[in-house]
Amino acid sequence: MDVIDTLAGIVPGSRMDAVRDGRKVARTHAQKSYEVLLTPAEPGDFTVAARFAIAAYVAGLHHGGVTADHYADGLATHGGAALAQAVAEAVAQTAAEGPRGAYPPGPLSAEDTPAPAFALSASVTQALGPKLVAGFDYAHYLVFHPRDAAAARFAPLTAAGWTEDTIVSLSQLASFLAFQIRVVAGLSVLAATP
Amino acid sequence: MPDTAVPNVFTRAQIGWVPFVEPLSEAELTPHHIAALIDAARAKSEYFRLLARDPDALEHRTRTDKDIFYNPEAGAPRADRELAAAAVSRFNGCIYCCSVHARFAATYAKREADVDRLLADGVGADLGERWNAIVAASVALTAIPMTFGPEHVTRLRATGMDDLAISDIIQAAAFFNWANRLMLSLGEASADRPPNGASR
């Protein structure tokens, strides 16, 4: 059983086990994606603790249920209880709804919706440190209003010590979570609706 | 760096994409990077050479993507999977991704007018019951908080879909929540650059 099976409650030999087996390659590589993004052999200067912090934050923002619990537990293991507590507070302080944001000016501007604010308390900012705060700000926008993308969004990351390579890994991690959380949620409903 | 030709409408036309973060150059690609591209031709794409900065993440993402969309064994027809991708892209607001998958959905289903209605009117457009059910399920999975529930499964089932087909719609919609975020955040759509060969 891989992590999606575990979180969606899919057990070997079940109806949903057969469904997942119908897309065996996706099943294998969704799991591999999880492994290389959360616990890579060479995490470089994007530590495993920081990866679980980003993941726990993104899953928390999604109201990710069992998936959010999984990453909160992983963060407590890899980053410690204090960091896990700070991330839980960050989720509560920046909760919002999505997708939102603004289109390039033109006919679609009528569909624009305001971006939710990102603001952390002084104590959470202190506990996370500048690199994770910049990463959370970026992840918050990716989760809730990715259409507000702009080249200017990278300057705060770079200033906080994120390199071009780790910016790509950060983007992949937050975006992969957006996938994994929804697969778990969707397959859980399908499993319960025979 | 941002150019003056950013598309500001949803379209089925071919558009380009310009990175915000510097891709690796072709000369910098190691055998590890090239293996992660899966298709050697992707070395020509700035998007894939940018994602190659994390080669293992790129490789496993690409293999996941291809099985969800291209595996022809049973499940949902390709057109339905592409419709889910286009609907999620329309809802999240990824003009580039939406252009690619609107083209695929229109081509595989031979339903250009319905796809154009989705682009023009958004995810509330009336596309007939089967496609309405697919769009509604895709949107419910994409919204935060998610609103996907048993009623979406029941509605898809009523259009004749079995478990694997419904799972294909779930995975296609979920995958585009991954793809949209990379394509939107790491660069921007551009009308005056040639298409970069990236589809997701």
Residues A130-139: pLDDT tens digits?
A: 999 999 999 9
Interface of B with A in 77-116 (CB under 8 A): 91-95
Which element (helix H / strand E) includes B19? Answer: strand B16-19
Instruction: Annotate A112-166 with DSSP letters as a single string.
Output: -BPPPP----HHHHHHH-HHHHHHHHHHHHHHH-GGG--GGGHHHHHHTT--HHH
Q: Residue A81 has which token pair?
A: 């209880």
Interface of B with A in 110-169 (CB under 8 A): 122, 141-146, 148-150, 152-154, 163-164, 166-168
The residue written with tokens 């023009």 in the block is: B120
Rounded CA-CA distance B10/B2 in Å is 19
Q: How far is CA B92 from CA A31, A147, B148, in A?
A: 25, 7, 16
Q: Residue B89 has which token pair?
A: 């892209």
**B-chain residues near A154 (CB < 8 A):** 20-21
Mean pLDDT (chain B, rounded): 94
- Letter string b/e over residues B163-181, b meaning 16 or more CB atoms within 10 A of that residue's CB: bbbbbbbbbbbbbbbbbbb
Task: Determine the pLDDT at residue B195.
Answer: 62
Amino acid, single-letter form, for residue A113: T
Task: Determine the pLDDT at residue B2.
Answer: 45
Mean pLDDT of B180-185: 97
| Exposed / middle / buried, residue B188 (Cβ in 10 Å: 0-12, 13-18, 19+) | buried
Whether the CB-CB separation of B171 and A181 falls below 8 Å is answered with no
Which element (helix H / strand E) includes A86? Answer: helix A81-94
C-beta atoms of A25 and B6 within 8 A? no
ipTM of the complex: 0.97
Let me know the angle formed at the C-alpha of A188 by A183 and A193, rounded to the nearest 5 degrees: 125
Task: Determine the pLDDT at residue B6.
Answer: 87
C-beta atoms of B174 and A23 within 8 A? no
| pLDDT tens digits, one per residue of A77-122 | 999 999 999 999 999 999 999 999 999 999 999 999 999 999 999 9
Q: How far is CA A156 from CA A102, A118, A161, A167, in A?
A: 21, 14, 9, 11
| pLDDT tens digits, one per residue of B18-69 | 999 999 999 999 999 999 999 989 999 999 999 999 999 999 999 999 999 9
Q: What is the pLDDT along chain A (194 residues), one digit of tens a residue?
A: 899 999 999 999 999 999 999 999 999 999 999 999 999 999 999 999 999 999 999 999 999 799 999 999 999 999 999 999 999 999 999 999 999 999 999 999 999 999 999 999 999 999 999 999 999 999 999 999 999 999 999 999 999 999 999 999 999 999 999 999 999 999 999 999 99
Whether the CB-CB separation of B90 and B119 falls below 8 Å is answered with yes
Q: Which residue of A has its CA nearest to B93?
A: A147
Task: Determine the pLDDT at residue A52.
Answer: 98
Whether the CB-CB separation of B46 and B186 falls below 8 Å is answered with no
Give percent of chain B above pLDDT 90. Answer: 90
Rounded CA-CA distance B81/B108 in Å is 10
Task: Determine the pLDDT at residue B196.
Answer: 60
Closest CA to A108 of B181, B24, B119, B18: B119
Assess whether pLDDT exceeds 60 at residue B1: no
C-beta atoms of B150 and A192 within 8 A? yes
Assess whether pLDDT exceeds 70 at residue B113: yes
Rounded CA-CA distance B45/B69 in Å is 20
Q: Nearest by CB to B91, which of A96, A99, A164?
A: A99
Q: Nearest by CB to A32, which of B54, B60, B154?
A: B60
Rounded CA-CA distance A110/B7 in Å is 15
B142: how many CB neighbours lie within 10 A of its CB? 27
Whether the CB-CB separation of A3 and A70 falls below 8 Å is answered with yes
| pLDDT bucket at B192, cuts 50 / 70 / 90 | confident
Q: What is residue B23's DSSP assignment? A: P
Rounded CA-CA distance B101/B111 in Å is 13
Task: Determine the pLDDT at residue B194.
Answer: 62
Closest CA to A138 of B72, B115, A130, A9: A130
Q: Is B2 on the interface with A (CB under 8 A)?
A: yes
Assess whether pLDDT exceeds 50 at residue B72: yes
Helix axes A164-191, B55-70, angle to 10 degrees: 30
| pLDDT bucket at B199, cuts 50 / 70 / 90 | low
Q: How far is CA A189 from CA A182, B153, B175, B176, in A?
A: 11, 8, 17, 19
Which element (helix H / strand E) includes A19? Answer: helix A15-21
